[in-house]
Amino acid sequence: MRAVTNAPRAAKSVMVSEGDQELRALMIRYQGGSLEAFQEIYAQLAPGVRRYLSHLALGSEIADDLLQETFLQMHRSRAAYNPTYAVRPWVFGLARNVFLMNRRAARRWAAVHESREDLPEFPVLPEADRLGSQDEIRRCIAHLSPDQAEALLLHHEWGFSFEEIAGMLGIGAAAARARASRGMADLRVALNSLQRARA
Amino acid sequence: MMDRSPKPPEELMRAIAQDLRPVRPSPQPLYLAMRMVPLALLVSSVILLAIGPRPDSGILGPLLTWGASAAQFLLAIALIWIAAHESTPAGRLPRQMVYSAAVVASLVVVFVTLLTFSTSPADVTLPVPPRINEILRVSPWIVGFACGIGSTLAGGILVLFFSLVFRNSLATRPTVAGALYGAGAGLAINAGWRIACPFSTPWHALGAHGAAIIATVVLGAIIGASLGNRRLHVGARRS
């Protein structure tokens, strides 16, 4: 069995950092009025943002609407972006914001839970993929506390640093690290229990 | 359902293409807060420029007269800086820091009030006809009312200005962001007002000036919430 750790994936972090430089340049062009820059930003970020929204909305189909709303909000508020910020955390933070606003507006939090028939589409962590089937890992992540699951996925799946997660969630970097770490530990325990039950 | 490919859907592209005018990037939170300083300084100084420093400023000394107000003003700017962070999706500060700043600001106001009263507790005679001084002595609520309304109005002007600057706020908690810049406005006004107001009793300073700060916090929170709701309706249209 592969060891499950809470260490960030270094190679991915470097990729993300280089990618974000490109995104910043695109964002500046977009603020200058370039439609092509918007399309490129969308192409780079939409899949990840959609998965994140799908995770927040627990797999509800509302994620597609929220994705569109996120990019619409980004367009309306494009002046609010400062080029000193990394683009990905800014857009993911905006997506979270849109999700929370929508939840408040429609009071559909309960409805989302009640109407949920399928498991969410959120991804399986590479760190955990040998501990169980994809379905089992999804189920276990779905049973983590929402705070832990969110920090865990933001760090391990989307490669955000704990400082970036802290800025998105309004918590300290240490708290972000603790949430992800506890989430990973709980996930490991849950998957090990499943394995023992299978054996 | 939307197309899940990375290509933006037509509907979204149409909305984007309709308005692609170039925009100026928003400044960083610190720079944004610093841009508020001149107007905040001007509005908070109006009462001071109108009636001058309190007669007992000699007893209080420069530290308790100007220094304490400067500290309050700096705290006000810090609150606006925190509000600017709160309004940024990726730049939010830890909740503990936000709430701690609000608690520290409250404690500083109370501390300065009590220190001022303990240093200069004597009744002050205003440079007005003796009959008016007698009325004010018998009915101190009149002065309290005047200070409360006056500083609320001055604070309200600042809150409106701040809300204009924060109109594109992307705060997850717009009510909190509004309350923070409202508190900043109230504190900035109080910083100037307390140098001019000659009444140092805790009843007056906390009851009238404190109520004005609370009023600007509430006003900021209401404006912040309504700005948030405005965005909310846009989001709810599709739901």
Task: Tell me the C-alpha to C-alpha distance, in Å, between residue B200 and each of A122, A165, B122, B207.
Answer: 61, 46, 8, 11
Average per-residue pLDDT for chain B? 88
Do residues B159 and B185 touch, judged by C-beta distance below 8 A? Answer: yes
CA separation, residue B38 to residues B44, B96, B167 (Å): 10, 29, 19
Beta-carbon separation of A75 and B16 below 8 A: yes
How many distinct structural domains can be found in chain A? 2
Closest CA to B213 of B78, B50, B72: B72
Which residues in A lie closer than 8 A to residue B176 (C-beta atoms)?
A: none
Give residue-wise pLDDT tens across range A124-142.
Answer: 566 666 667 777 787 788 8
Determine the Cα–Cα distance for residues B217 and B210; give it in Å rounded to an integer.
Answer: 11
Cβ–Cβ < 8 Å for A39, A30: no
Distance (Å, whole) CA A170 – CA B140: 44
Share of chain A above pLDDT 70, in %: 75
Does position A121 have pLDDT exceeding 60, yes or no? no
Are A45 and A113 within one domain? Answer: yes
Helix (H) or strand (E) holding B213: helix B210-236
The CA distance from A186 to A131, in Å, is 13
Give the Cα separation of A144 and A157 in Å (integer).
16
**In chain B, positions 71-90, which contact chain A (CB-CB < 8 Å)?**
86-90
Cβ–Cβ gap B239/A78 under 8 Å:
no
Predicted confidence (pLDDT) per residue in A127-184, tens digit? 666 667 777 787 788 888 888 888 888 888 888 889 999 988 889 899 999 998 888 8
The owner of tokens 């965005």 is: B231
Q: Would you say residue A4 lies in a domain?
A: no
How many domains are contained in chain B? 1
Domain membership of residue B171 (yes or no) is: yes
What average pLDDT score do residues B158-162 get?
A: 95
A93/B89 Cβ within 8 A = yes
In a domain, B215, yes or no: yes
- Is the same domain home to A95 and A149? no
The whole-model pTM stands at 0.79
Question: Residue B210 belongs to what domain range?
Answer: 37-236
CB of B155 within 8 A of CB of B186?
yes
**Looking at chain B, which residue has its C-alpha nearest residue A95?**
B89
Please give the Cα distance from A88 to A26 (Å, whole number): 12
Considering the domain architecture, whether residues A135 and A181 belong to the same structural domain is answered as yes
Q: Which phi and psi angles does A6 have, rounded to 5°?
A: -105, 15
Closest CA to B237 of A101, A45, A96, A38: A101
pLDDT digits (tens, 9 = 90+) for A52-82: 998 888 777 788 889 998 999 899 889 889 8
8 Å CB contact of A175 and B94: yes
Query: Inter-chain contact A80–B232, Cβ cutoff 8 Å?
Result: no
Contact A169 B93 (CB under 8 A): no
The residue of chain A nearest to residue B82, with distances taken between CA atoms, is: A170
Domain span including residue A82: 10-120
User: A34 and A86 share a domain?
Assistant: yes
- Residue A150 domain-assigned? yes
Chain A residues whose CB is inside 8 A of the B232 CB are: 101, 104-105
| Contact across the interface for B89 and A89, Cβ inside 8 Å | yes
Q: Give me the pLDDT at residue A111, please.
A: 46
Task: Dump pLDDT digits (tens) for B48-76.
Answer: 888 888 888 889 999 999 999 999 999 99
Residues in chain B within 8 Å Cβ distance of A43? 6-7
Interface of A with B in 12-31 (CB under 8 A): 28, 31
What is residue A18's predicted lDDT score, i.e. its pLDDT?
A: 66
The secondary structure of B58-96 as a DSSP string is: HHHHHIIIIIHHHHHHHHHHHHHHHHHHHTSTT-PPPHH
- Encoding tokens for residue B213? 């700060």
- Using CA atoms, how far apart are residues A148 and A48, in angstroms rounded to an integer? 19
Q: Are residues A147 and A79 in the same domain?
A: no
Q: For residue B116, is it within any domain?
A: yes
Residues of B in contact with A176 (CB under 8 A): none
| Same-domain pairing of A140 and A184 | yes
- Name the band, by pLDDT with cuts 50, 70 and 90, for residue B5: low
A173 in the same domain as A185: yes
